[in-house]
């Protein structure tokens, strides 16, 4: 094992408090720390304002406080090709993509990792709330200690080989402690508010953003029985289980999105949160990444179908082609194609895939995506 | 690890004699040059002396020198000030695609104000297209601004030829001589320029100091409003210590010009020889016969600027891509894009090395060896 001072750790710095504290902790542990800002998206407006410029400025200030070198790298092209194109394609296909999962897979832990390695890095570190357990040659990813912040869901596509070169110094800390450390050290980003939503959309209106890239096709909104309840603005604006923004008046309700028919451009809606149509008992997942060994036999574990959900029991029936059938112990509500399904054995994240079909009574639900 | 500085086109180390003069000035001479008492007069003397030195260095008269906060302010004052003062004669301006942003962004501002701007192309060797300049001139043209030496490539532009061409034309002629001053002989009369920009920190003087030469027949509007300083063309209490340091830097650069030229030329040659020995693939951007001796812009096929510069810095080599950064990440060079096209790999794989006072033969050789190793590793 190299000594910390001979170990170069390149920290992916966003200008937020988490990556700032990441760099601080590593520096305190004596590592040779280098901060790098990734510019993945250009949002410069007419007045010349660009969020990335502001964020980079925060990176500079923090790195100067820590007295570590800082640089930037431009991955706009890679981000566009690998993440944004996927994002649009999924919406075109009537699904709800997860660009954060793709960004981690293709940018932060691929393009950025390669860049860091070319700079002589031994490790890259990020401010993700996840833990890494190293046991000899075996490297596992564990949930972050802060249950509310655990980000393994977004990191499900990382491989053991990648994790070997990764550090998550915040994984064992609650978020409140991270804020406290930042304040204690008077870091420039100590009170900066956390970014919300998808990075390239930022604070903007999601619908407006999407309409700049994809033509919206309004169509009918109806129940599964064919009763027309109104008009929708374009299928891409709705996700399974959504309640807001349907604008269905009259008696009954509340109304929820229960499905989509892409071919006929119909949005299916149903009454009540617990509407039966929203429930399913299994799914098929594609593009599954198993972080450690690939299971050959069916097994029982827990799974999350969306971020910050408590995981529930499932049985996984893996196929050799990287797909799997996942059967739920109890029926689940609003399973959404395009989102990630992520598997856990206790604290260990096993990996995950993309939800492709939703199954009920051994049949794929044709009204869902 | 002692870092090696190969970025003298960005800025230069301050000369020890310059520093001494500045410290003395700040210690002993704090007066306001506009004050009507002995403290003021003493400070004013410093400005007067510096003005004579600056004027002599370009064969101008001292009344033609306006001290500014540096190159950017001088370029802005020249371009916007002349455009505004002469709009009754026309609203057309000619500049080039390879100017410094201080010029380009001033020109863009004027476009928004209703002026028409022609941005001249350059040939692949980095010099402007004289034929295109001739064709672009019209009765509406009031200003031509062409830099004397390009800051990214070091290529010399045909300023005297342009001066000749404009002799019989109403248009004023401005040249940004920031990268030329101290290396090329400059005579404003021989060159036929009406306005000329010089910056102090590129010649081992302090930052925050520069001057604009303005021919007495030039109509120009001030860009700031305030007191009577610089004959109202640049109000604001003068940066006395900065000007004093600038004067010293000018004196040294005039005295040592030839010696420096020879020395920097030797470093450049040595650097390129060593780089050739390292067997990495590279090519030089820009005209090799018409250039200043201290800059070389090198394209490394298969590499990219950010990776190169970061690796260089982590290994103690300070160089640059010569172009602007947004959010810290290097944008493709507008100068190389103008020379080779937008999509040329040269715009994202080229590094500018520039030599100067911080160099000696040993550190130039060491730098070339390190650069060779890094490029070799990144492109294999």
Domain A279-364 is of which CATH architecture? Beta Barrel (2.40)
Count CB atoms within 10 A of the CB of residue A203: 8
- 8 Å CB contact of A70 and B328: yes
In this prediction the pTM is: 0.92
Class of the domain covering A4-184: alpha beta
Q: What distance in Å separates the CA atoms of residue B76 and residue B103, rounded to the nearest whole number?
A: 7
Q: Which of residues 308-367 of B touch A (CB under 8 A)?
A: 309-311, 313-314, 325-331
- Contact (Cβ atoms closer than 8 angstroms) between residue B247 and residue B54: yes
Burial class (CB in 10 A: 0-12, 13-18, 19+), A147: exposed
Q: What distance in Å separates the CA atoms of residue B319 and residue B354, rounded to the nearest whole number?
A: 8
Interface ipTM: 0.88
Q: What angle do CA A130, A134, A140 make, to 5 degrees?
A: 50
Count CB atoms within 10 A of the CB of residue A190: 18
Instruction: Please list the alpha-helical segments (H only) found in chain B.
Output: 16-28, 38-57, 71-85, 101-112, 130-136, 159-166, 188-191, 240-255, 257-277, 305-314, 334-340, 346-349, 361-379
For A32, name the nearest residue in chain B, comparing CA atoms only.
Answer: B314
Q: Which residues of A touch B314 (CB under 8 A)?
A: 34, 69, 119-120
Would you call B187 helix, strand, or coil by DSSP?
A: coil
Q: What distance in Å separates the CA atoms of residue B329 and residue B159, rounded to the nearest whole number?
A: 33
The answer, yes or no, to whether residue B324 has pLDDT greater than 80, is no
Q: Which residues of A touch B303 (CB under 8 A)?
A: none
Q: Which of residues 34-93 of A touch B (CB under 8 A)?
A: 34, 36-37, 39, 42, 44, 50, 52-53, 55-56, 59-60, 69-74
- State pLDDT tens for residues A249-258: 777 779 999 9
- Contact (Cβ atoms closer than 8 angstroms) between residue A260 and residue A366: no
Nearest CA distance, B306 vs chain A (angstrom): 6
End-to-end C-alpha distance for chain A, whole angstroms: 50
Give the one of A37, A73, A118 whose C-beta lies nearest to B378's C-beta: A118
- A247 shares contact with chain B (CB less than 8 Å): no
Higher pLDDT, A1 or B306: B306
- Contact (Cβ atoms closer than 8 angstroms) between residue B66 and residue B220: no
The answer, yes or no, to whether residue A369 has pLDDT greater than 70, is no
SS3 letters for A280-298? EEEEEEEEEEECCCCCCCC
Would you call B186 helix, strand, or coil by DSSP?
A: coil
Over range A205-233, report the average pLDDT. 93
For A57, name the nearest residue in chain B, comparing CA atoms only.
Answer: B327
Q: Look at residues A257, A283, A287, A261 and name the one whose alpha carbon lies nearest to residue A269.
A: A257
DSSP string over A222-279: E-TT--EEEEES-GGG--TT--TT----SSS--EEEEEEETTTTEEEEEESTT-GGGE
Average pLDDT, chain B: 96
Helix axes of B240-255 and B257-277: crossing angle, nearest 10 degrees: 80
Domains of chain B: residue spans and CATH: 4-12+256-379 (3.90.1150.10), 16-255 (3.40.640.10)
Q: Which residues of A touch B330 (CB under 8 A)?
A: 72, 74
Higher pLDDT, B165 or B322: B165
CB–CB contacts below 8 A, A to B:
55
Q: What angle do CA B91, B94, B95 make, to 5 degrees?
A: 135
Q: Look at residues B146, B240, B243 and name the one whose alpha carbon lies nearest to residue B200.
A: B243
- Contact (Cβ atoms closer than 8 angstroms) between residue A68 and residue A23: yes
The answer, yes or no, to whether residue A201 has pLDDT greater than 90, is no
| Token pair belonging to B120 | 């001249």
Nearest CA distance, B339 vs chain A (angstrom): 23
Handedness of CA A345, A348, A350, A355 (dihedral sign): positive
Count CB atoms within 10 A of the CB of residue B378: 17
Q: Which residues of B244-274 are buried (b: 16+ CB within 10 A; e: fewer)?
A: bbbbbbbbbbeeebeebbebbeebbebbbeb
A199 catalytic residue (yes or no): yes
Q: Which residues of B touch A71 (CB under 8 A)?
A: 306, 309-310, 313, 328
- Contact (Cβ atoms closer than 8 angstroms) between residue B349 and residue B301: yes
Assigned fold of A217-271: SH3 type barrels. (2.30.30)
Q: Could you tell me which residues come within 8 angstroms of residue A261 by beta carbon, excluding any fewer than 6 positions away?
A: A268, A367
Q: What is the pLDDT of residue B322?
A: 66
Instruction: Give the DSSP H/E element, type plus range, for residue A64.
Output: helix A51-66
Give the one of A60, A73, A118 whose C-beta lies nearest to B329's C-beta: A73
Q: What is the pLDDT of residue B336?
A: 96
Give domain limits for chain A: 4-184, 217-271, 279-364
- State pLDDT tens for residues B29-42: 999 999 999 999 99
- State pLDDT tens for residues A221-247: 999 999 999 999 999 999 999 998 888
């Amino acid at each position: 094992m190299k000594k910390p001072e001979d170990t170069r750790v390149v920290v992916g710095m966003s200008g937020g408090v988490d990556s700032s504290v990441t760099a601080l902790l590593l520096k305190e542990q004596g590592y040779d720390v280098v901060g790098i800002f990734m510019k993945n998206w250009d949002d410069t407006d007419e007045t010349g304002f660009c969020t990335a410029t502001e964020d980079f400025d925060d990176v500079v200030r923090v790195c100067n406080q820590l007295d570590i070198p800082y640089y930037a790298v431009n991955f706009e092209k890679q981000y566009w090709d690998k993440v944004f194109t996927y994002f649009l394609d999924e919406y075109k296909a009537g699904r709800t993509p997860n660009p954060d999962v793709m960004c981690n897979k293709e940018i932060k832990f691929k393009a950025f990792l390669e860049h860091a390695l070319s700079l002589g890095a031994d490790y890259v570190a990020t401010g993700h709330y996840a833990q890494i357990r190293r046991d000899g040659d075996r490297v596992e990813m564990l949930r972050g200690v802060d249950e509310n912040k655990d980000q393994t869901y977004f990191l499900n596509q990382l491989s053991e080989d990648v994790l070997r070169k990764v550090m998550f110094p915040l994984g064992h800390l609650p978020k409140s402690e991270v804020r406290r450390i930042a304040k204690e050290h008077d870091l420039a980003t100590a009170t900066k508010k956390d970014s919300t939503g998808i990075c390239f959309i930022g604070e903007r209106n999601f619908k407006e953003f999407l309409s700049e890239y994809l033509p919206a096709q309004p169509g009918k909104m109806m129940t599964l029985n064919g009763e027309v309840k109104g008009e929708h603005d374009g299928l891409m604006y709705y996700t399974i289980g959504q309640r807001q923004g349907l604008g269905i008046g009259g008696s009954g309700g509340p109304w929820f999105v229960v499905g989509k028919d892409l071919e006929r451009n119909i949005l299916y809606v149903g009454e009540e949160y617990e509407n039966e149509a929203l429930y399913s008992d299994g799914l098929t997942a594609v593009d599954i990444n198993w972080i450690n060994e690939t299971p050959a036999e069916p097994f029982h574990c827990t799974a999350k179908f969306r971020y910050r959900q408590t995981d529930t029991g499932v049985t996984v029936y893996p196929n050799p082609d990287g797909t799997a059938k996942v059967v739920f112990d109890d029926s689940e509500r609003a399973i959404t194609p395009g989102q990630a399904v992520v598997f856990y054995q206790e604290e260990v994240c096993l990996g995950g895939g993309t939800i492709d079909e939703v199954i009920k009574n051994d049949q794929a639900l044709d009204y869902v995506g | 690890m002692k870092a090696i500085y190969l970025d003298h086109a960005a800025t230069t180390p301050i000369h020890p004699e310059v520093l001494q003069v500045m410290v003395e000035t700040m210690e002993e001479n704090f007066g306001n040059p506009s004050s009507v008492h002995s403290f003021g007069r003493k400070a004013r003397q410093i400005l007067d002396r510096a003005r004579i030195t600056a004027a002599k260095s370009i064969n101008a008269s001292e009344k033609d020198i306006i001290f500014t906060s540096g190159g950017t302010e001088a370029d802005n004052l020249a371009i916007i000030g002349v455009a505004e003062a002469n709009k009754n004669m026309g609203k057309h301006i000619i500049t080039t695609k390879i100017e410094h942003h201080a010029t380009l962004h001033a020109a863009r501002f004027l476009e928004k104000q209703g002026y028409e701007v022609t941005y001249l192309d350059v040939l692949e060797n980095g010099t402007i297209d004289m034929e295109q300049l001739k064709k672009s001139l019209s009765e509406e043209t009031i200003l031509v601004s062409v830099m004397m030496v390009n800051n990214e490539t070091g290529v010399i532009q045909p300023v005297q030829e342009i001066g000749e061409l404009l002799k019989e034309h109403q248009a004023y002629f401005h040249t940004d001589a920031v990268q030329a001053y101290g290396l090329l002989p400059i005579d404003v009369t021989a060159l036929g320029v009406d306005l000329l920009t010089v910056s102090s920190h590129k010649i081992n003087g302090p930052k925050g100091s520069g001057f604009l030469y303005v021919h007495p027949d030039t109509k120009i509007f001030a860009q700031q409003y305030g007191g009577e300083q610089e004959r109202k063309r640049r109000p604001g209490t003068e940066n006395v210590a900065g000007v004093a340091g600038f004067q010293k830097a000018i004196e040294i650069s005039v005295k040592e010009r030839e010696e420096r030229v020879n020395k920097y030329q030797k470093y450049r040659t040595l650097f390129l020889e060593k780089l050739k020995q390292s067997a990495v693939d590279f090519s030089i951007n820009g005209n090799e016969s018409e250039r200043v001796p201290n800059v070389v812009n090198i394209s490394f096929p298969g590499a990219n600027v950010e990776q190169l510069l970061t690796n260089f810095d982590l290994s103690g080599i300070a160089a640059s891509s010569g172009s602007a950064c947004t959010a810290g990440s290097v944008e493709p060079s507008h100068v190389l894009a103008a020379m080779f096209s937008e999509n040329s790999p040269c715009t994202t794989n080229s590094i500018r090395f520039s030599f100067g006072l911080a160099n000696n033969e040993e550190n130039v050789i060491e730098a070339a060896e390190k650069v060779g190793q890094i490029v070799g590793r990144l492109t294999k």
